[in-house]
Chains A and B, each alone.
Chain A
Amino acid sequence: SQQGEEDPQALSIQEGENATMNCSYKTSINNLQWYRQNSGRGLVHLILIRSNEREKHSGRLRVTLDTSKKSSSLLITASRAADTASYFCATDVQGAQKLVFGQGTRLTINP
């Protein structure tokens, strides 16, 4: 069953702007991961944040995790046309040994 709720479902912004996507989940987790998927392609792992971490950076990506609110956000700064893709959060659920994916956000960067 799906655990993650992501919002917005779709986001369209101009190149150079920042894009923020949010993910909420329901159960206790070991970590939360963000993936990118270009249309019709496989998944690309972006970043992993552990349950005891609050913020993590990787290049133009910034991820936050609030375990008290069971939510995470992914910020992409200075967006580029190549960032156009679907973005999914996935939770590594405690005791389950599997990833549960959110519904995803379709991001479109307009040149």
Chain B
Amino acid sequence: GAVVSQHPSWVICKSGTSVKIECRSLDFQATTMFWYRQFPKQSLMLMATSNEGSKATYEQGVEKDKFLINHASLTLSTLTVTSAHPEDSSFYICSAREAGGRADTQYFGPGTRLTVL
């Protein structure tokens, strides 16, 4: 089955530093990838949708300059949290939609837990 990986699985950083999270589709090509954020005991909130080779589409209220998304290849998307602060601490989850696959199917990664001190 389709597998999506995320790296790192967890990261702890100091306030003011930038953190990059990778999302990879391991056995399929993903034209579209999605980034979600989940605070403790809350639901997933969509942050942005990225299509390979084009700029990401951000949801309302998500700062594009703070959450930089790059989807340079059909198997990799990255989310960079710039100048991270404690309020950015969260569980970040990506998902991927297969190129030429069913539009209603997203495959989710295992998530990355970010803790900003």
Pull 6 A–B residue pairs with CB atoms less than 8 Å apart, ordered by A: A40-B111, A43-B95, A45-B108, A99-B34, A99-B95, A103-B43
Interface residues of B in 56-84 (CB under 8 A from A): 60
Q: How large is the interface on A (under 10, 10 to 19, 20 to 34, 35 or more residues)?
A: 20 to 34
Q: Is A101 positioned at the interface, with any CB of B under 8 Å from its CB? A: yes
* Residues on B facing A (Cβ under 8 Å): 32, 34, 36, 41-46, 49, 60, 91, 93, 95, 103-106, 108-111, 113
Which interface residue of B34, B41, B44 has the most chain A CB atoms within 10 A?
B44
- Nearest chain-A residue to B91 (Cβ)? A40
Chain A contact residues: over half helix, strand or loop, or mixed?
strand
Return chain A residues, CB-CB under 8 Å to B49: 97-98
Q: How far is the CA of A104 from the CA of B44 in the complex (A)?
A: 9
Known: A41-B111, A48-B104. A99 touches B46 (CB 8 A): yes
B108 touches A100 (CB 8 A): no
A31 touches B104 (CB 8 A): yes
A98 touches B43 (CB 8 A): no
* Residues on A facing B (Cβ under 8 Å): 1-2, 4, 30-31, 33, 35, 40-43, 45, 48, 88, 92, 97-104, 106
A42 touches B108 (CB 8 A): yes
B108 touches A88 (CB 8 A): no
Least distance between B75 CB and chain A CB atoms (Å): 18
B34 touches A98 (CB 8 A): yes
Those 10 A-B pairs whose CB atoms lie nearest each other, nearest first: A42-B110, A43-B108, A101-B44, A101-B43, A42-B111, A103-B43, A104-B43, A42-B108, A31-B104, A92-B104
Return chain B residues, CB-CB under 8 Å to A41: 110-111
Q: How far is the CA of A98 from the CA of B34 in the complex (A)?
A: 8
- Nearest chain-B residue to A33 (Cβ)? B104
Return chain A residues, CB-CB under 8 Å to B41: 106
